[in-house]
Amino acid sequence: MRQSLMNDAKLTISGLKDWCRNQPFVFATLAPLRERYPYRRRVVRVGDDVVIEGFPRSANTYATEAFLRLQERDIRIGNHFHSPAQFLLASKFKVPAILVLRYPDDAILSLLIFYPKSSATELANRYISFHRPLLSIRSDFVVAPFEEVTQSFSRSISRLNVRFGTNFVDTEIDEDLRKDIFDRVNAKQAKIDNYEKSDSENLTTLPSDLKNRLKKRREAELNDPLVQERLSECRRLYNSLISGSRVPSVTMYG
């Protein structure tokens, strides 16, 4: 009985958080309270340059750091709240926006490693609550598939420029530049780890052998019939959003 009540409370809190993420006014009022050092995350505002957002574990950090590295100038960038309200506000404020989009099975499995106490069903529902509101404003942002972000992000930026008439630098990322971006990602992670007094490898952004082993241990959870039912809806949303985007066939990111 006690465990059931705890589970119900957990679902209620999770549902409340999802509701807040879906309400632009509520999000814009409360989310700025979480804009603090050492995080770079920012709630989009009128006059911002760009929004780069996505479901957690979808190369959000790499995309943000790569974009900033390529521009090499001060950029006001809405990012890292993993909230559909960011796109709803960007649409309202006429701010160019990029949705980084990862295949649900991969994103959810990766997030299971990041949040080991979560269930696959819970995270699949979160994937749905993040992406479903975006269908109604699909023309107001550019989709950057995970594989493209991690291999040829310049293509995503080029589409952003075409769609919004912007002139962001979209230089191809060579190996030297990629290494520099990875160094920036690692430096950011080190600041966060130091701030949160954490050194857990499963929380790192970039791929690792440990994360791959942990994924192997939990991937069977995705085969549960109830999880598969929710994943079917996740995949439907993914296919609807990615329609029209060109996706490379090989991934170089974990």
pLDDT tens digits, 133-191 = 999 999 999 999 999 999 999 999 999 999 999 999 999 999 999 999 999 999 988 88
pLDDT at res. 249 = 39
* Distance of alpha carbon 234 from alpha carbon 125, whole angstroms: 8
Query: Which residues, in sequence order, are CB contacts of 30 under 8 Å at separation 6+?
Result: 20
Tens of pLDDT, residue by residue over 184-223, are: 999 988 888 777 765 554 455 555 666 677 776 788 889 9
Q: What is the pTM of this model?
A: 0.83
Per cent of the chain over pLDDT 90 is 61
User: Could you tell me the domains of the chain?
Assistant: 2-242 (3.40.50)
pLDDT at site 202: 46
Residue 6 pLDDT exceeds 50: no
Mean pLDDT of the chain: 85
Q: Are 141 and 87 in contact (CB under 8 A)?
A: yes
Sheet-wide strand order for 142-145: 77-79, 50-54, 97-101, 142-145
What local confidence, expressed as pLDDT, does residue 192 receive?
81
For the residues 68-77, what does the mean pLDDT come to?
A: 94
Residue 11 is predicted with a pLDDT of: 47
Question: Structure tokens of 204?
Answer: 């790192």
Q: What pLDDT, on the 0 to 100 scale, is given for residue 250?
A: 35
Percent of the chain surpassing pLDDT 70: 81
